[in-house]
Amino acid sequence: MTTEHASRIVWEPEPEHLERSRLRRFMATQGIESLPALHARAVENPEWYWAAMVDHLGLTWHRPYDAVLDLSDGIPWARWFVGAGYNYVHDAVGKRAIGPERDRPALVWEGDGGETRTLTYGELAAETNRFANALRRLGIGCGDRVGIFLPMLPETAIATLACSQIGAVFVPIFSGYGPEAVATRLRDCDARLLITADGFPRRGRVVAMKATADAALAAAPSVERVVVVRRIGSEVAWKSGRDHWWDELVASQPIESPAEPTGADDPFMIIYTSGTTGRPKGAVHVHAGFPIKAAHDLAVCFDLQEDDRLLWLTDLGWMMGPWAIEGTLILGATLVLYEGTPDWPQPDRLWRLVERHRITVLGVSPTAVRALMSQGDHWVTARDRSSLRAFGSTGEPWNPAPWHWLFSVAGEGRCPIINYSGGTEISGGIVGCTTIEPIKPCAFTGPVPGMAADVVDEDGRPVRGQVGELVIKFPWVGMTRGFWRDPERYLATYWSRWPNVWVHGDWALIDEDGFWYILGRSDDTIKAAGKRVGPAEIESAAVAHPAVQEAAAIGVPDAVKGEAIVVFAVLRPGWEPGEDLAREVQATVARQLGRPLQPERVVFVSDLPRTRNAKIMRRVVRAAYLGQDPGDLSALENPAAVDAIASVRAG
């Protein structure tokens, strides 16, 4: 076990954290005195837990449920709040459009160029209703699929809410996709309408979004109508009868619109995830699933309340985009949307956002932190960060150095880092932290309440102190209702290894103090010299060298060891690649992990293949290096990084 797993507790809740905690209030109302007791009771009686939690969150059913849980179709097809009538948009905006809450800010937006816009809950409800009426006018109704191909704009949030308001099913599409990736998703779900923009600025340059959409639509014949947001005011190709400007559509629409009386189990979103092979998987989510899980996790892990402002650096096409929109609004907090990147036009952009908008909870990936850290502390310390009370982090395992930098420098040692890991099919977190428990660097305090998670060996037996598979042993609110039109693939992906056990595909470890660690995807795992090791452990050892900013470790076939370790390293500014430096990095890893785990080779590259939400795609690194088919690359932000790795491939 490396030093990162045996590290000491560095943050403990102060009295103010305990006093404001809505999780503690929930426990008090249930007569539960400790978090371990809460976890145990929630696992033993999940129906009690989720029924009590939806009451605590103040959710509004337009028809009460007949049963909390129905397993008659089997555990993989669990149904929650059976018979209930529920449309989450009422809880997100509808009920706050009247009374004193209507004038509180619901959404704050900042564009790439620094322009801002604020919508109160009353204004957001009115805009949602106007666009919902416009969609109905275009013939869109309950069950129709609607693609949303937009950057993070106010209209992006409005579009998701309006689709759900009328019972349509929205399909979030990553704003950086090319035509084929957009077309694949629209075709797969038979979308009838696409919402896009004329273009948008990114790092000061214009992205021609409508042109990409037009190229995609040539290969997506099911799409009958296109709604275009005027973001940059550029001239775009136009197909009369098919294309409509957003502003012209909503101009004459009334600000009242009845919500479709959808059922709790009615789909509201299909969100696609990329796999190593085959077409993307469309995870189906329902009204009384994903939105409730998002609100629940923001409440119990991040302690999000009405006086909070949440900014999560993400895109609508990644799970955290809809998660942030729905969860934040259901809890009555303020959502901050940012269109640009955290380091443009200068490395202090993210911290200027915090200062300007008084953000209280900031979600940022380890990769983004590594990049910001390399620019120097002064970009952070010059900005006022006093509003911050917590960080959120998801998407990939931490290395110790950037974790400590975010905690000590950016957070001044007072803001907990709420480590949070789950997935698109989960609707949020499997494991996480809370604001009322001590925190270790890079660790999770345990399963998110309500999640019956465990770590098991290759025979499915629980293990402690050693690496195993992360599994979930009972359904939860928010579990996907399967893959769109592909139930067998859903069962094969998550339920085929052990009966009625969800195998998530992550390696995890529980240490001697009960803290949890995610060590990377189990299909990324390396077995060298008879030892199974997660790539994150090797990468953390590599970035311990002062020259290495970030790293990706892969296993490659080796006649003697079975697999040999190759590390791809991005250097910090001011360092030059060379054989001597490569040997130094190899030696650093050997000192940290032992000589059997010394990399066979260290390859210096200028960048690593990553998605826009900053997740490094190790399977792509390995495939490029070995000259194999890398699978679906549509989520990549920087495909040139793949070519660079392929140029130094093995053999």
Whichever domain contains 133, its CATH number is 3.40.50.980
Q: Which residues are CB-contacts of 505 (< 8 A; sequence separation ≥ 6)?
A: 470, 521, 522, 523
Q: How far apart are CA 607 and CA 603, in angstroms?
A: 11
Q: Which CA distances in Å does 524 have to 102, 180, 216, 247, 622?
A: 48, 27, 32, 47, 9
Q: Where are the alpha helices (DSSP H) in 166-280?
A: 179-189, 209-217, 246-250
Q: Where are the alpha helices (DSSP H) in 263-399?
A: 290-300, 320-330, 349-357, 366-373, 378-381
The CATH code of the domain that includes 549 is 3.30.300.30
Per-residue model confidence (pLDDT) at position 560: 67
Q: How far apart are CA 313 and CA 353, in angstroms?
A: 11
In a domain, 489, yes or no: yes
Question: Which long-range CB contacts under 8 A does 57-63 form with residues at least 24 apart?
Answer: 57/292, 57/295, 57/296, 57/299, 57/330, 57/331, 58/91, 59/86, 59/91, 59/292, 59/330, 60/86, 60/90, 60/91, 60/95, 61/85, 61/86, 61/264, 62/86, 62/87, 62/90, 62/261, 63/261
- Across the beta sheet with 453-456, what order do the strands follow? 453-456, 468-472, 502-510, 516-521
Phi-psi category of residue 631: left, alpha or beta, with phi > 0 → left and psi -120 to 50 → alpha: left
Is residue 2 very low, low, confident or very high in pLDDT (cuts 50, 70, 90)? Answer: very low
Above 90 in pLDDT, residue 275?
no
Q: Does residue 507 sit in the same domain as residue 573? A: no
Average pLDDT over residues 530-549: 83
Is residue 172 within 8 A of residue 316, CB to CB? The reply is yes
Q: How far apart are CA 373 and CA 546, in angstroms?
A: 12
Average pLDDT over residues 582-590: 94
Tokens standing for 555? 């296993």
Is residue 4 very low, low, confident or very high in pLDDT (cuts 50, 70, 90)? Answer: very low
- 537 versus 548: which is more confidently predicted? 548
Q: Where are the alpha helices (DSSP H) in 239-289?
A: 246-250
Q: Does residue 368 sit in the same domain as residue 442? A: yes
Q: Does residue 205 sit in the same domain as residue 281? A: no
User: What 3-state class would DSSP assign to 387?
Assistant: coil
C-alpha closest to that of 311 among 356, 268, 346: 356
Q: Does residue 406 sit in the same domain as residue 393? A: yes
Above 90 in pLDDT, residue 596?
no
Average pLDDT over residues 447-452: 98
Q: Does residue 493 sit in the same domain as residue 539? A: no
Q: What is the pLDDT of residues 112-145, one digit of tens each?
A: 999 999 999 999 999 999 999 999 999 999 999 9
In a domain, 567, yes or no: yes
In a domain, 19, yes or no: yes
Kind plus residue range of the DSSP H or E element containing 538: helix 535-542
Q: How far apart are CA 287 and CA 92, in angstroms?
A: 12
In a domain, 162, yes or no: yes
In a domain, 140, yes or no: yes
Position 94: which residue type? G
Is residue 572 within 8 A of residue 371, CB to CB? The reply is no
Q: Does residue 491 sit in the same domain as residue 364? A: yes
Q: How far apart are CA 57 and CA 26, in angstroms?
A: 10
Q: Which CA distances in Å does 195 have to 192, 248, 347, 536?
A: 10, 14, 32, 38
What is the residue range of 416's domain?
15-92+266-519
In a domain, 10, yes or no: no
Per-residue model confidence (pLDDT) at position 612: 64
Per-residue model confidence (pLDDT) at position 521: 77
Mark which of 188, 217, 250 sits at the end of a domain: 250
For 480-511, give one letter per residue: b (16+ CB within 10 A) or e.
bbbbbebeebbeebbbeeeeebbbbbbbbbbb
CA 568 vs. chain centroid, Å, equals 25
- 620 versus 223: which is more confidently predicted? 223
Radius of gyration of the chain from its Cα atoms, rounded to whole angstroms: 24
Per-residue model confidence (pLDDT) at position 3: 42
The CATH code of the domain that includes 25 is 3.40.50.12780
Q: Does residue 148 sit in the same domain as residue 76? A: no
Q: How far apart are CA 508 and CA 517, in angstroms?
A: 5
In a domain, 149, yes or no: yes
- 618 versus 130: which is more confidently predicted? 130
Per-residue model confidence (pLDDT) at position 270: 98
Q: Does residue 617 sit in the same domain as residue 507? A: no
Q: What is the pLDDT of residues 205-239, one digit of tens each?
A: 999 999 999 999 999 999 999 999 999 999 999 99
Tokens standing for 274? 């990329």
Q: Does residue 614 sit in the same domain as residue 631? A: yes
Q: How far apart are CA 619 and CA 635, in angstroms?
A: 13
User: What 3-state class would DSSP assign to 166?
Assistant: coil
Mark which of 250, 276, 306 sits at the end of a domain: 250
Mark which of 496, 519, 542 sits at the end of a domain: 519
In a domain, 1, yes or no: no
Average pLDDT over residues 297-316: 97
Is residue 452 within 8 A of residue 473, CB to CB? The reply is yes
Average pLDDT over residues 441-451: 98
pTM: 0.88
Tokens standing for 587? 């030696």
Above 90 in pLDDT, residue 617?
no
Mean pLDDT taken over the chain: 93
Tokens standing for 99? 């009374």
Is residue 645 within 8 A of residue 610, CB to CB? The reply is no
Average pLDDT over residues 144-165: 98
Is residue 440 within 8 A of residue 446, CB to CB? The reply is no
Q: How far apart are CA 599 and CA 576, in angstroms?
A: 19
Per-residue model confidence (pLDDT) at position 586: 96
Per DSSP, the residues of 64-108 read --SEEEE-TT-GGG-EEEET-B--HHHHHTGGGSSSGGGGSEEEE
Above 70 in pLDDT, residue 476?
yes
Number of domains in the chain: 3
Q: Does residue 82 sit in the same domain as residue 111? A: no
Q: Does residue 513 sit in the same domain as residue 574? A: no
Position 355: which residue type? E
3-state DSSP: the chain helix, strand, coil percent, rounded to 5?
30, 25, 45
Q: Does residue 394 sit in the same domain as residue 272? A: yes
Question: Which long-range CB contacts under 8 A does 434-437 form with residues at least 24 apart?
Answer: 434/21, 434/23, 434/35, 434/300, 434/301, 434/303, 435/13, 435/17, 435/21, 435/23, 435/301, 435/302, 435/303, 435/390, 436/13, 436/17, 436/18, 436/21, 436/23, 436/24, 436/35, 436/303, 437/13, 437/35
Per-residue model confidence (pLDDT) at position 276: 45
Position 486: which residue type? D
Question: Where do we find the tokens 């194999």?
Answer: 628
Q: Which CA distances in Å does 235 have to 90, 208, 228, 243?
A: 37, 10, 12, 13
- 320 versus 524: which is more confidently predicted? 320
C-alpha closest to that of 199 among 231, 157, 227: 231
Q: What is the pLDDT of residues 24-46, one digit of tens each?
A: 999 999 999 999 999 999 999 99
Half-sphere exposure (CA, 13 Å, Cβ side) for 194? 32
